[in-house]
């Protein structure tokens, strides 16, 4: 009896730790997005991604060192490396599209479009994961896309190129999530993280071959950009740690706190509050996402 009570107490403690880590990750992501939006007024997206993933690569190196298995360093010899490469490539496209679009998009609206990714993942899951999706779930997905149209509103004030790039980032992030689920339990987390870091560092800087950085900042400014990249990398590590302690079904509904944070930051930091229709669209996306994320909704 005492052992059962101790096990239950330990389980609750792990769950609390995981939820706090997840909240910390959401806060770190929101802070980095706001930081990136601010810095994009002064620096090109390629430089932002270069410093971001240089910092993430340093965290990946530390993770591999702590992993302690020499074979983990040979990421090119890992099993499932094609899936690992494809997963990392999807995130690299997300980073490139998101950072480029954020330079011209308001933060709240950009984040809301990005948050259609879970809905896209549900729409893709019958074909890519073999999961059954019911009629009610399809209605929720369609409502989420209707919410996105309320935000984008073809012919409205949002830039078309930025909206399309943000939609592309949402699609690729949905594919990234699907591939993450496929690789769950097959490849150690430090190896997945290292693959992601290296591929993103290379791919996100390919546009620099066409549009090179003309004016490099000083070392003090580069240090600030690297510090921002560490915040982004730490958020990814917090996510991994949270999912090791708490099931995805418990954490998924909490994701939409980041959308609320984006609205608050956009309103009070950048003085760009969403208009009424955009807020309605965000509410529809959030409601549809929360419904789909709630435990036992997706069979």
298 part of a folded domain: no
Q: What pLDDT does residue 73 have?
A: 54
Task: Please compute the mean of the pLDDT values over residues 196-211 and round it to a whole number.
Answer: 86
Q: Do 265 and 30 contact (CB within 8 A), yes or no?
A: yes
Question: Is residue 227 assigned to a domain?
Answer: yes
Query: What would the mean pLDDT of 293-298 be, rounded to a whole number?
Result: 53
* pTM recorded for the entire structure: 0.83
Q: What is residue 1's predicted lDDT score, i.e. its pLDDT? A: 57
Domain enclosing residue 148, as ranges:
18-293
Q: What mean pLDDT do residues 11-21 have?
A: 83
Coarse DSSP helix, strand, coil percentages of the chain, rounded to the nearest 5 percent = 80, 0, 20
Per residue in 17-61, pLDDT (tens digit) is: 888 888 898 899 999 999 999 999 999 988 999 999 999 999 888
Residues 162-198 pLDDT 10s: 889 998 998 898 888 778 777 777 777 778 888 889 8
As a whole number of angstroms, the distance between CA 89 and CA 295 comes to 30
pLDDT > 90 fraction of the chain, expressed in percent and rounded: 22
* C-alpha pair distances (Å), 164 with each of 113, 262, 272: 10, 19, 20
How many Cα atoms within 13 Å fall on the side-chain side of residue 274?
27
Separation between Cα atoms, residue 299 and residue 281, nearest integer Å: 27
Asked if pLDDT for residue 295 goes beyond 60, the answer is: no
Look at residue 2 and tell me if it is in a domain: no
Question: Per-residue pLDDT for 298 more than 50?
Answer: no
245 inside domain? yes
CB-side neighbour CA atoms (13 Å) of 5: 2
Residue 277 maps to a domain: yes
208-267 pLDDT, tens digit each: 777 777 788 889 999 999 999 999 999 988 887 887 777 665 666 677 788 888 888 988
pLDDT of the residue at 94:
92
Kindly indicate the confidence band of residue 67, based on its pLDDT and cuts at 50, 70 and 90.
Answer: low
Q: Is residue 254 part of a domain?
A: yes
pLDDT given for residue 180 in this prediction: 77
Q: What is the mean pLDDT of residues 137-142?
A: 81
Contact partners, residue 71, CB within 8 Å, separation at least 6: 77
For the chain, how many structural domains are there in total? 1
Instruction: Return the pLDDT at 28.
Output: 93
Give the model's pLDDT for residue 89. Answer: 94
Give yes or no for a contact between 121 and 178, defined as CB atoms under 8 angstroms apart. yes
Stretch 116-132: mean pLDDT: 74
């Amino acid at each position: 009896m005492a052992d059962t009570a101790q096990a239950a107490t330990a389980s609750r403690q792990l769950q609390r730790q995981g939820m706090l880590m997840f909240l910390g990750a959401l806060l770190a992501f929101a802070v980095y997005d706001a930081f990136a939006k601010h810095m994009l007024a002064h620096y090109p997206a390629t430089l932002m991604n270069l410093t971001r993933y240089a910092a993430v690569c340093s965290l990946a190196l530390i993770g591999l060192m702590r992993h302690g298995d020499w074979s983990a360093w040979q990421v090119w010899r890992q099993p499932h490396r094609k899936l690992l490469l494809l997963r990392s490539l999807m995130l690299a496209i997300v980073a490139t599209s998101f950072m480029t679009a954020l330079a011209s998009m308001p933060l709240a609206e950009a984040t809301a479009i990005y948050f259609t990714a879970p809905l896209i993942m549900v729409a893709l899951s019958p074909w890519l994961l073999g999961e059954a999706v019911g009629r009610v779930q399809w209605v929720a997905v369609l409502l989420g896309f209707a919410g996105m149209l309320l935000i984008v509103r073809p012919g409205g004030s949002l830039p078309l190129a930025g909206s399309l790039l943000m939609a592309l980032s949402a699609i690729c992030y949905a594919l990234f999530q699907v591939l993450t689920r496929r690789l769950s339990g097959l490849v150690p987390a430090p190896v997945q993280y290292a693959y992601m870091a290296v591929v993103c560092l290379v791919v996100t800087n390919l546009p620099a071959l066409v549009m090179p950085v003309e004016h490099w900042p000083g070392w003090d400014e580069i240090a600030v950009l690297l510090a921002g990249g560490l915040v982004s990398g730490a958020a990814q590590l917090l996510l991994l740690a949270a999912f090791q302690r708490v099931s995805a079904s418990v954490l998924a509904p909490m994701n939409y706190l980041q959308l609320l944070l984006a609205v608050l930051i956009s309103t009070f930091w950048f003085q760009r509050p969403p208009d009424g229709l955009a807020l309605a669209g965000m509410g529809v996306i959030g409601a549809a996402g929360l419904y789909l994320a709630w435990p036992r909704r997706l069979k």
